[in-house]
Amino acid sequence: MNPEYTVVINGKPQGPYSLADLKDLNIKPNTFIRKPGMDDYKEAHAISELRELLGFKYQKTAPQYFAAFDQRLLASVIDHFLIFAIYSIVILLSFIFIEGKDQRIMAYLIPFPSVFIFKLIYGSFAEASAAQATIGKKLLNIKVTDLEGTRISFGRSLARNLSKILSVIPVFFGYLYSFLNKKNQCWHDIAADTLVIKDRLI
């Protein structure tokens, strides 16, 4: 069995160790361990094979790292860019079958509100999915969770996205409020009891 686990012992990374080697170490549930493919160290109880090997139970821990405003803004820009790109392609293709300037203008304007409806539905499903994130959020390595860091239901995700109107109405102050909140929550996050988190400090 190839050694692959690095263990923090007395504050210093040691190893690598194989999975079998870990049995002989004084591994506790909160011992920090890392293996290839992991972005950062995790506590032993958070690694499935170690729970099985050492008989630990998974312990829920409150999220520690929260997505900053600039990360959330960039993720939103990416999502809107992709949606508008799809919308533009559909409109351009429709011009093949529509003749006349007036008809083309109507074809462009009438479905425009559907962009925002699609964003609402897509965001609600994506953030309630196993990925817990839209494409933009996945690219930025951030995701939406409840206050304990676990996946939210579709109902809560929908409520969160609908509540964004609360953050928009006061001249977007609901978004800027994240600078005043220790967990970087916007008003719609507070309304839905959600967080936008990242796995580690960047």
**Which residues lie closer than 8 Å to 74 by C-beta, 6 or more apart?**
136, 140
Domain boundaries, position 34:
5-54
Is residue 114 within 8 Å of 86, Cβ to Cβ? no
Q: Are 32 and 73 in a shared domain?
A: no
Q: Are 85 and 34 in a shared domain?
A: no
What is the residue-level pLDDT of the chain in tens, covering all 202 positions? Answer: 566 888 888 888 888 888 888 887 888 888 888 888 777 788 888 888 888 777 777 666 667 789 999 999 999 999 999 988 888 887 777 777 666 666 666 656 656 677 788 889 999 999 999 999 999 999 999 999 998 888 999 999 999 999 999 999 999 999 999 999 999 999 999 999 999 998 765 4
The predicted pLDDT at position 110 comes to 58
Closest CA to 85 of 110, 107, 118: 118
Q: Are 94 and 140 in a shared domain?
A: yes
117 domain-assigned: yes
Question: Rg of the Cα trace of the chain?
Answer: 23
Q: Are 78 and 147 in a shared domain?
A: yes
Distance CA 86, CA 121 (A): 15
Q: Are 74 and 132 in a shared domain?
A: yes
- Output the pTM of the full model: 0.67
Q: Are 104 and 163 in a shared domain?
A: yes
Q: Are 43 and 80 in a shared domain?
A: no
Is residue 152 within 8 Å of 131, Cβ to Cβ? no
What is the count of structural domains for the chain? 2
The predicted pLDDT at position 136 comes to 95
The predicted pLDDT at position 193 comes to 93
Long-range interactions of 109-113: CB distance < 8 A, separation 24+: 111/87, 112/87
Q: Are 13 and 73 in a shared domain?
A: no
The predicted pLDDT at position 202 comes to 42
Q: Are 190 and 90 in a shared domain?
A: yes
Q: Are 78 and 20 in a shared domain?
A: no
Distance CA 137, CA 79 (A): 8
Q: How many CB atoms lie within 10 A of CB 136?
A: 22
